[in-house]
Structure 1
Amino acid sequence: MNLAIFRLAVCCGLRVSEIGSLRLRDVYLVRPRPHIRIPRGAAKGGKPRTVPLWWDAGTLADLTAWKEQRLAEGAKETDALIASRRHGGALSRYTLRKRFLTACKCLGNSRVHTLTIHHGRHTFISHALAGGRSLAEVRDAAGHANVSITSG
Structure 2
Amino acid sequence: MKVWPSFLSEYKTYLKLERGLSENTIVNYVLDVEKLIQFLVENKVEVSPIDIKEEQIQYFIYTISATLNARSQTRIISGLKSFFNYLIFEGYRNTTPLELIEVPKTGRKLPDTLSVQEIDLLIGGIDLSKDEGERNRAMLETLYSCGLRVSELVSLKISDLFFEEGFIKITGKGNKQRFVPIGSSTQKYILLYKDVVRSHLVIQKGHEDTLFLNRRGRQLTRAMVFTIIKDLAVKINLSKSISPHTFRHSFATHLLENGADLRSIQMMLGHESITTTEVYMHLDRKFLSEVLNSFHPRG
Q: TM-score range by the shorter chain?
A: 0.7 to 0.9
Is the Cα–Cα contact under 8 Å of residues 229 and 244 in structure 2 kept in the other structure? yes
Name the amino acid aligned to 1:27. L
Give the ranges of 4+ consecutive aligned residues of structure 1 lying more than 6 Å apart after TM superposition: none
Structure 2 residue 175 is matched with structure 1 residue 46: yes
Structure 2 residue 237 is matched with structure 1 residue 108: yes
User: Could you tell me how far apart the structure 1 residues matched to 2:221 and 2:192 are?
Assistant: 23
Q: How big is each residue's C-alpha offset from its partner over 1:44-65, in whole Å with a ceiling of 9 and x where there is no partner?
A: 13211111113xx432332232
- Residue in structure 2 matched with residue 37 of structure 1 by the alignment: 169
User: Could you tell me how far apart the structure 2 residues matched to 1:130 and 1:100 are?
Assistant: 24
CA 1:26–1:100 in structure 2 vs 1: closer, same or farther (change >3 Å)?
A: farther
Instruction: Decide which of 143, 147, 156 is 1:13's aligned counterpart.
Output: 147
User: Could you tell me how far apart the structure 2 residues matched to 1:89 and 1:146 are?
Assistant: 34
- Residue in structure 2 matched with residue 94 of structure 1 by the alignment: 223
- Residue in structure 2 matched with residue 4 of structure 1 by the alignment: 138
Name the amino acid aligned to 2:190. L
State the 1:101 CA deviation: 2.8
Structure 1 residues without counterparts, runs of 5 or longer: none
- Structure scoring higher RCO (CA < 8 A, sep ≥ 6) equals 1
Is the Cα–Cα contact under 8 Å of residues 37 and 50 in structure 1 kept in the other structure? yes
Secondary structure of the 2:239 match is helix
Q: What TM-score, normalized to structure 2?
A: 0.43
Q: What TM-score, normalized to structure 1?
A: 0.78
- Which of structures 1 and 2 has the bigger CA Rg? 2
Secondary structure of the 2:271 match is coil
- Residue in structure 1 matched with residue 252 of structure 2 by the alignment: 125
Name the amino acid aligned to 1:35. F
Name the amino acid aligned to 1:49. R
RMSD over aligned Cα, in angstroms? 2.5
